[in-house]
C-alpha cells in the first residue's frame, strides 16, 4: 500500500487508527449482547445507549430518534418503505417526489413502490445536478406522502437545497390531513458539509459509517415521530422494533468515534479538501479537451471530469498501474452494464459519460500528491489517446 494515492474515498474509506482502537475491546472483551439480562448484556446495552447519546449530541438530535442500521442503503430502505407503510398509505398508494440523480438505494425503492401502484415525480436537474426547491411546491399532490432528496450527490458532489425544501414541506403540512415526510440521504454529506438535524428540516436522514473512516456494515437513520415509520423487517425488539437483529456493538462504537473525529475537525478538513479540489480542477484544465462535470461550488471532496477520446474504464486501469486509484462513479453501480444514470440525467452526451471518472478526496492527501496525480493523468490521457487514434 506504500506510495499509493487513493482517490476513491466516496466509495469507501480506510478505517482510522483511532476508530480501530475504540472498537477493539468490543470484539473479545466487552462482547455481550445488549438484549441479554446479565452483566455482560447490561454493559453492552450501556455502550449502545451512550454511543447513541453521543451521536445525538454531534448531530443535534434526540437520542430516541436515532436508529442503527447495517448500512446507508438499509437506512434509505427503512426510511422510504417505512414511511410508505403508514396505515393510510398501506391501503391507498401514494405519491413521491424525488430527483433522477438519487442513489440506487432510493431510486430502486421508488421503482418498487411504483410497481405497487404509487406514482412518482422527478425534479428537473440542470447541467450540474442542481434542483429548484420551488419546484417541489408545484409537484405536490393531495396523495404526496414522501419527498426524498440527497444532500450531496455521490457522483457530482452537487449540494441540494434541502433546507429550503424542508421549509416548503413544513408550510405545506400545516394545511394537509396526510402529512408529507421529508427524507434526506446524507451519506456523502457527513464530514464534508455542515450538518445539523434541526437545520435540515427533515423527518428522516440517512448516514453511513464507512464513508467517514469508520467500519463497513453500520449505518444510522434519524427518524422523528412525525415520520410515523412502520418496520419493514420483523424479528426482535431491537432498535425499538424498527430494525430487528442483534446490534453490532463494535461497529456502533466505530461509527460514533468516526463521526466525532470528522465533525470535530470539519472546518480544517473542509479547508484542506477545498485546496486539494481546486488544485485538481486547475490541473485538469491543462489537459486538452477535458471537461469538469461537477459544479464549481460543490462538496469539497468530490470532482467528476470527462476526457473525451478515453474510455473511463481504460483510464481507471491505466492509472491503477501507477498506484493511483479513482473510479467511474458510484461503487455500487460500477460493475453493471450501462452508463451512469446521474450523468445521463444532467444531459451529458455519450462521449462525455463514457469518458468520465470520479475523484473523491480525503484530508489525508497532500498537494504534492495531487500534483503528481495531475502529471500522471495528463501523461496517461495523452498515451491512451495516441493508442486509439
Residue 163 CB neighbour total at 10 angstroms: 16
Contact 204, 226 (CB under 8 A): no
DSSP assignment of 206-265, as one string?
EEESTTTTS-SS-EEEEE-GGG----SS-SS-GGGGTS-S---HHHHHHHHHHHHHHHHT
Contact 312, 355 (CB under 8 A): yes
204-208 β-sheet, strand order: 66-69, 219-223, 204-208, 181-185, 144-150, 95-98, 119-122
**Which residues contact residue 349 at a Cβ distance below 8 angstroms, ignoring those fewer than 6 apart?**
none
Q: Is 204 left (phi over 0), alpha (psi -120 to 50) or beta?
A: beta
Helices first, then strands: H and E counts in the chain: 15, 12
What distance in Å separates the CA atoms of residue 320 and residue 112, rounded to the nearest whole number? 37
**Which residues contact residue 269 at a Cβ distance below 8 angstroms, ignoring those fewer than 6 apart?**
191, 192, 262, 363
Catalytic member of 332, 347, 350, 366: 332
Tell me if residue 332 is catalytic: yes
Grid cell listed for 145:
406522502
Q: Which residues are catalytic?
A: 332
Amino acid at each position: 500500500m506504500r506510495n499509493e494515492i487513493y482517490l476513491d474515498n466516496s466509495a469507501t474509506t480506510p478505517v482510522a487508527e483511532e476508530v480501530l482502537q475504540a472498537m477493539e475491546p468490543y470484539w473479545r472483551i466487552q462482547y455481550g449482547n445488549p438484549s441479554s439480562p446479565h452483566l455482560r448484556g447490561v454493559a453492552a446495552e450501556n455502550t449502545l445507549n451512550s454511543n447513541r447519546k453521543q451521536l445525538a449530541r454531534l448531530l443535534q438530535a434526540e437520542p430516541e430518534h436515532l436508529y442503527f442500521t447495517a448500512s446507508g442503503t438499509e437506512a434509505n430502505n427503512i426510511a422510504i418503505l417505512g414511511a410508505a407503510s403508514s396505515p393510510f398509505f398501506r391501503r391507498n398508494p401514494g405519491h413521491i417526489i424525488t430527483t433522477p440523480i438519487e442513489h440506487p438505494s432510493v431510486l430502486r425503492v421508488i421503482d418498487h413502490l411504483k410497481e405497487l401502484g404509487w406514482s412518482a415525480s422527478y425534479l428537473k436537474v440542470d447541467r450540474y445536478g442542481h434542483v429548484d426547491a420551488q419546484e417541489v411546491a408545484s409537484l405536490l399532490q393531495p396523495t404526496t406522502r414522501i419527498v426524498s432528496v440527497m444532500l450531496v450527490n455521490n457522483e457530482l458532489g452537487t449540494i441540494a437545497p434541502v433546507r429550503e425544501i424542508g421549509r416548503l414541506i413544513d408550510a405545506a403540512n400545516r394545511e394537509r390531513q396526510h402529512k408529507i415526510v421529508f427524507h434526506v440521504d446524507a451519506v456523502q454529506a457527513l464530514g464534508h458539509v455542515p450538518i445539523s438535524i434541526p437545520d435540515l428540516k427533515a423527518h428522516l436522514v440517512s448516514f453511513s459509517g464507512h464513508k467517514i473512516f469508520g467500519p463497513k456494515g453500520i449505518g444510522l437513520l434519524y427518524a422523528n415521530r412525525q415520520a410515523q415509520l412502520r418496520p419493514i423487517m420483523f424479528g426482535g425488539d431491537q432498535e425499538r422494533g424498527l430494525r430487528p437483529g442483534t446490534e453490532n456493538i463494535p461497529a456502533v462504537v466505530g461509527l460514533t468515534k468516526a463521526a466525532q473525529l470528522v465533525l470535530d475537525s470539519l472546518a480544517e478538513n473542509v479547508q484542506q479538501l477545498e485546496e486539494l479540489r481546486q488544485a485538481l480542477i486547475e490541473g485538469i484544465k491543462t489537459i486538452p479537451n477535458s471537461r469538469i462535470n461537477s459544479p464549481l461550488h460543490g462538496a469539497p471532496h468530490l470532482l467528476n471530469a470527462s476526457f473525451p477520446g478515453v474510455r473511463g474504464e481504460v483510464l481507471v486501469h491505466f492509472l491503477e498501474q501507477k498506484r493511483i486509484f479513482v473510479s467511474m462513479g458510484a461503487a455500487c453501480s460500477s460493475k453493471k452494464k450501462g452508463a451512469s444514470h446521474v450523468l445521463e440525467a444532467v444531459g451529458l452526451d455519450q462521449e462525455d459519460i463514457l469518458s468520465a471518472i470520479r475523484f473523491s478526496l480525503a484530508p489525508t492527501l497532500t498537494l504534492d500528491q495531487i500534483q503528481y496525480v495531475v502529471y500522471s493523468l495528463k501523461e496517461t490521457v495523452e498515451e491512451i489517446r495516441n493508442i486509439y487514434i
